[in-house]
Amino acid sequence: MLNIGIAGLGFMGMIHYLAYEKLKGVKVAAVCETDAKKLAGDWRSIKGNFGPAGTMMDLSKLGRYSELEKLLADPKIDCVDICLPPAAHALFFPAWLLAAVVQPINALSFVTDGIHWGTGDFRYLRNAMFVATGAGALGLWGIEAAGIASLLWVWIVTDGWIVIRSAAGVLRVWPGIGAAPLAQPDRTPGLAASATGRGDAVPVHE
């Protein structure tokens, strides 16, 4: 049985509620609404351009919340059906903003991945990926999935993973930690660059 939580008991929320009542394998287990009358089951003010008008409903067996975060945090809910007006999208805005802002940094790591791949710097690439992904996985593991603002935390941690990954890629190239892949071969007399061209020069024996 899939437990649904409906956010917003306007015309769409009501129509979806009535539709779920007719479906097998799903049930509405909770609702979320800021209007106290609708949350108490008085849906008589709801009407739309089609379908039935709202009536008095018995919602006593449902979880009832006036804050969306609490519905999202309800562990019994498998799926949240968002029937909120567009203005309520602001609730998701911080997470969406973080996801968008980090994308240029993410693109940078694709560029440096290409450099490290192209220069055969596979060991560094692997190690940097292990460190970044390990840190990210630990961070995600530490988030309370049903906690308040958990979506925002997922993106904070994901941004951290992306920043570590990009920083590792860039720092290897410039200023060049370890054997910088694009460093020029050492021109010191008596020394010749190794075949890798990474500046890890080897003495020449004549």
Q: Which spans of this chain sit near ligand NAD (rule: CB under 6 A)?
A: 7-13, 32-35, 38, 48, 68, 83-86, 88
- Nearest residue (CB) to ligand NAD, 67 versus 144: 67
- Nearest residue (CB) to ligand NAD, 68 versus 173: 68
- Nearest residue (CB) to ligand NAD, 50 versus 141: 50
CA distance 19 to 184: 68
Least distance (Å) from ligand NAD to the CB of residue 151?
15
Q: Would you say the C-alpha torsion 37, 11, 62, 72 has a positive or negative sign?
A: negative
Least distance (Å) from ligand NAD to the CB of residue 69?
9
Q: Would you say the C-alpha torsion 138, 144, 145, 147 has a positive or negative sign?
A: negative
Least distance (Å) from ligand NAD to the CB of residue 79?
16
CA distance 116 to 169: 8
Least distance (Å) from ligand NAD to the CB of residue 47?
9
On the question of a cis peptide bond just before residue 175, with omega within 30 degrees of 0, the verdict is: yes
